[in-house]
Structure 1
Amino acid sequence: MLSYLVAIAIIGGIYSLLTLGLNLHYGFTGLINFGHVGFFALGAYASALLTLAGLPFAAGFAAAMLIAALVALPLGLLAIRLRDDYLAIVTLGFSEIIRIVITSEEWLTGGVQGLPGIPRPFGGLGVGGAEYAYLGLVVALNGLAFLLVHRLAASPFGRLIKAVRDNEVALVSLGKDPVGVKIRVFMIGAGLAGLAGALYAHYITYLSPEQVIPLVTFYVWMAMIIGGTGRNAGVVLGAGILVLILEGSRFVRDLFPGVLDTEMASIRLAIIGLCLVLFVLFRPRGLIGDGVER
């Protein structure tokens, strides 16, 4: 039972990193990113492939963040001037392109057969010790990411990104460049998603295209909405609640003993969707909302 709780905490921490990156995009800057899972996938496969080639874990994690951030640069230059709805479509298309490339380039990624045997840190500590050590790593990286985003939001640059969200026209009239601000934010949020992908890859030790579908981005949006956009503590709380909802919905099967597995998957999604609807109805700004009208 304890090992199951540790596993839930690790997955919750990974979702927390993902949500912190998306909150930087949307909560602070107002960028609608529906392709967040694409950066997650880049980080996961980059770190997995590099460590399988013999590089240390630190190099894999660093490469995951760097590659995700660098890929966000041209995407940002192409799409950042678009209106919100078009930006959402472009980013969603980007994540699907990444998934298609992963599926088709079997020589590198294993394609639909997946990429097995990804090494996990702390293997010498034994099964139990490795789990606790990995949880400590996830918590530490979450703490660093939380501090980074918090300090960024409290800095003069943070006031700029909030101005982009609230009134971009006024920002331009003051002689500021919102495009440069958006691109930098896009890259930082993508780097956090890449780091989350690396943590996921080395914990699960197996990757396949089915793990990086758009549904993952929907889950991250759900965590941000539940916790409260624009508040770091809110999105971390939202990520924890999201994982509890996802895991708790698994036990609903006990209430429907005659239901097939395929039908049960649809019921789980319906329950998750209902939870989101209820949060939007009764807590539209999330559990720890920022009070800003959007």
Structure 2
Amino acid sequence: MNALVFPLQGLTIIVCLGVLLHLQFGRTGIVNFGVVGFSGLGMYTTGILVVNYEVPFALALLIATALTGLVAFLLGLLILNLESEAVLVATLAFSTIVFYLVTSESWLTEGVVGLGTVPRPFDVGDTSTSQLLFLLVLVAIAAALLVYAARLQHAPYGRLLFSIQDNETLSRSLGKPTFRHKLVFFTVTCAAMGAIGGLDASVNQFLVPRLLTADLTFVVWIALVLGGRKRVFGAVLGTLLTVGIFDIVIELYVDVPREFAQQLPNVQLMLFGLTLILVILFRPQGLLGERRRKPQDSPTAESRKKVQA
């Protein structure tokens, strides 16, 4: 059971980030390829405050969340009125900046040596009990995000966000301050990513720059697209079919020969990429979404049949 708790914590972190990305991309159409940048900023801010300055974990997490939200607000002011491709490049560049700052500013982050040890926010004496309690807290946070996403789907504000995604020009012509809504929503969800990153600092406990590579962003995106970006439980299903299978089932329960074990992460990313390509080709709405219409089943084809009849 103890060996299972840590990967489950990591899986729950991915679910939380996937739900937040669903809110940004699936609801509002914001193409955020800087997931690891925002979560990493929260992670290292929390770690630095707790380890270097002995700030209580709860206060450090609050400061990290506020700082990530402030950075997201300033970045959003610059990019959210641009095309989706520009937003993608800008957020990806932001995550790269965070990575190189963490690597180069070793006086603050310890660089490649690593920063630690970040304590767990709940310490009840027994390590196993503390880890299990922390896992339950992470699951509760993931459940709360899912409930919020589900309720937002049918709320007036959620319909407003959908209208911005589907036709922002039309929404703006109806008097809706679309840029302001996008900026506020982007700021809040990115701040939440920073909070999740701060919690992830306690999961990893020892922070190194490799935790901030683009792999995390790609895994979250693949999980969301695989499950269905417009579906509330899309991130959950996608995470279970990717991270769950590789990081839990295969690593813990499959006897992989030692000579192939080192190549497993590379094989994992290759299979993730192949899966993403196949989903985009044959199930662009994800496993929980609708299938792509066949040409003969499209509304235009149906209308043509009725006319011919």
| Fold match (TM-score > 0.5) | yes
Q: 1:257 to 1:204 in 2, by over 3 A?
A: closer
Q: Take 2:291 and 2:30, find their aligned partners in 1: how far apart are those partners?
A: 18
Is 2:170 the partner of 1:170? yes
Segments of structure 1 that go 5 or more residues without pairing to the other structure are none
Task: State the secondary structure of the residue aligned to 2:146.
Answer: helix
Q: 1:225 to 1:28 in 2, by over 3 A?
A: same
Q: Who is 1:131 aligned against?
A: 131
Is 1:15–1:196's contact at 8 Å kept on the other side of the alignment?
no
Q: Aligned-pair distance for 1:33?
A: 1.0
Task: Give the 5 Å matches for 1:62-211.
Answer: 62-211=62-211
Q: Take 1:240 and 1:260, find their aligned partners in 2: how far apart are those partners?
A: 21
Is 2:282–2:292's contact at 8 Å kept on the other side of the alignment?
no
The AA in structure 2 aligned to 1:220 is V
Deviation per CA, 1:136-157, whole angstroms, max 9, x where unpaired?
1101222222233333443322
Aligned residue pairs, count: 291
The AA in structure 2 aligned to 1:223 is A
Q: Take 2:58 and 2:74, find their aligned partners in 1: how far apart are those partners?
A: 26
Is 1:145–1:192's contact at 8 Å kept on the other side of the alignment?
no
Deviation per CA, 1:162-213, whole angstroms, max 9, x where unpaired?
1111011110110112111111121122022112211110011011111111
Aligned Cα RMSD in Å? 2.4
Task: State the secondary structure of the residue aligned to 1:277.
Answer: helix
Segments of structure 2 that go 5 or more residues without pairing to the other structure are 294-309
TM-score (norm 2): 0.86
Q: Who is 2:296 aligned against?
A: none
Deviation per CA, 1:246-283, whole angstroms, max 9, x where unpaired?
3245479956654483x444333222323333444443
Is 2:6–2:203's contact at 8 Å kept on the other side of the alignment?
no
Q: Take 1:6 and 1:100, find their aligned partners in 2: how far apart are those partners?
A: 31
Q: 1:153 to 1:65 in 2, by over 3 A?
A: farther
Task: State the secondary structure of the residue aligned to 1:117.
Answer: coil
Q: Who is 1:26 aligned against?
A: 25
The AA in structure 2 aligned to 1:15 is I
Greater gyration radius: 2
Q: Who is 2:303 aligned against?
A: none
Q: Pick which of 196-205 and 120-129 moved more.
A: 120-129
Task: State the secondary structure of the residue aligned to 2:33.
Answer: coil
Is 2:58–2:121's contact at 8 Å kept on the other side of the alignment?
no
Task: Give the 5 Å matches for 1:237-252.
Answer: 237-247=237-247, 248=249, 250=251
TM-score (norm 1): 0.90
